[in-house]
Amino acid sequence: MEQIKILLKRGVPPKKYSESFKRQVVREFEGGNISKDGLQKKYDLKGKSCVLKWCRKYGKFDYSTPTTKLGRPMIDPQSQRIKELEAKLKAAELKIKVYDKLIEVTNRELGEDVLKKIEAKLSENWQQKKD
């Protein structure tokens, strides 16, 4: 009876996969053509984190924290580039709003139009350099 309980506790031993197989799965995942769940179904992999563990061990990307921006790239490099440029544009627009607000506060504090003064100085300097 004791022997049966021990066998039931152990269950089915985990499958052993070769290193080359693990590297192949990681390459497919990092290629961006198939998801982790898709790979688990395709190769009948048990466990929810085996692909992620293999990626940490054999992958070329940083899988240490879930908040990192580094990860597997998008399928289309152009889409990735567009996403990066949109983020930069959003940051630039926010910066412009801050500068506009700063100029507005400065104008209110000084009681003058600061932009006109700056433009006048720039045009004077430009005229001097031109002559």
What string of pLDDT tens digits covers the 131 residues of the chain? 555 555 555 666 667 888 889 999 988 888 888 888 888 889 888 888 888 888 888 888 766 655 545 566 667 778 888 989 999 999 999 999 999 999 999 989 989 888 888 888 888 888 877 76
Domain boundaries 2-58, corresponding CATH code: 1.10.10
Measured CA to CA in angstroms, residue 91 lies from 31, 94, 95 at distances of: 29, 5, 6
Distance CA 63, CA 57 (A): 9
Q: Full-prediction pTM beyond 0.95?
A: no
Count the neighbouring beta carbons within 10 Å of the beta carbon of residue 29.
21
The most distant pair of C-alpha atoms in the chain lies apart, rounded to whole Å, by 105
pLDDT of residue 87: 93
pLDDT of residue 51: 86
pLDDT of residue 94: 94
Closest CA to 73 of 25, 29, 38: 29
pLDDT of residue 65: 59
pLDDT of residue 68: 47
